DNA sequence: GCCCTGGATCGACGACTGTCAAGGTAGAGA
DNA sequence: TCTCTACCTTGACAGTCGTCGATCCAGGGC
């Protein structure tokens, strides 16, 4: 349940907002990996379900029932979100719990708009 | 050079931030279309080049030289960004100029973070 | 009229992505 | 230990995406 392969935070932190100066190739590659992870309706709903769940975390069993998809497919989408660093997961007993990573969302938000409130 | 097929603004405006309540299926589909448009390094750099260009707009001829890609490919990526409503373009004489749509970027930013400054 | 230049569209190809069925692993309880 | 549940991984398939060459359209200058 480790999060190996996720985008290193410092790459994003160094990014200026889109409209201030052009992105370098490396910055664009790292950022696009995050946006691509959000570019699927199922993953967007999964992230939303996790982030808005009480306690800020959700068990996989809370998520599978919502969609008309098989377990492996949900698991695949969760892995994509995890590798992008947008969520993190840990096993507690029988169940696996996922939690959103607000820092990653704030960094993405800050890239889109120069004057977004990042420190909130 | 019309922007037909782009995401209607009201669909995004009605979206609560991800972490406040779960996205509906329709909201997720529309939002994922925007994020998917940003999920490619070339398109991310194109948007950044346009948004940060002096005057807030850039001619296609300013963009093609930056990448190691053919004209049709650049044109394709610009079309994807245009259909997502992230940029708009108009022909002035021989050249076509593209301009970023700050409102679309702000809406996306607001979805990611509940307390982002949207009205700025 | 003709030709040149800047861009867009079309058609095709390889690569990647989303999905599922089958099988595997970890923890809990008998 | 054996079994059940919860979840992940693998392998395979269809559909989508990024890219290019070829072609087409619109404006400007001759």
List the CATH number of the domain containing A81.
1.10.10.10
SS3 of residue B69 by DSSP? coil
Q: How far is the CA of A83 from the C1' of D8 (A)?
A: 15
Domain containing B69 equals: 41-108
The better pLDDT of the pair B30, A113 is held by B30
Q: How far is the CA of B106 from the C1' of C22 (A)?
A: 45
Question: Residue A4: pLDDT above 50?
Answer: no
Count structural domains, chain B.
1
Asked whether residue A72 is domain-assigned, the answer is yes
CB contact under 8 A, B35 and A20: no
From chain A, the residues in CB contact with B102 under 8 A are 19, 113
CB contact under 8 A, B35 and A35: yes
pTM of the model: 0.87
Q: What is the pLDDT of residue B72?
A: 97
Q: What is the pLDDT of residue A61?
A: 93
SS3 of residue B100 by DSSP? strand
Q: What is the pLDDT of residue B24?
A: 87
Torsion of Cα atoms, A24 then A28 then A29 then A34, to 10°: 150
């Amino acid at each position: 349940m480790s999060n190996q392969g996720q985008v290193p935070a410092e790459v994003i932190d160094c990014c200026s907002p889109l409209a201030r100066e052009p992105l370098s190739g490396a910055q664009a590659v790292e950022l696009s990996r995050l946006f691509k992870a959000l570019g699927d309706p199922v993953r967007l709903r999964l992230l939303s379900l996790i982030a808005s769940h009480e306690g800020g975390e959700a068990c996989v069993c809370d998520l599978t029932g919502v969609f008309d998809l098989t377990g492996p497919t949900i698991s695949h989408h969760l892995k994509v979100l995890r590798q992008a660093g947008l969520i993190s997961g840990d096993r507690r007993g029988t169940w696996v719990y996922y939690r959103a990573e607000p820092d990653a969302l704030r960094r993405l938000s800050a890239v889109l708009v120069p004057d977004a409130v990042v420190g909130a």
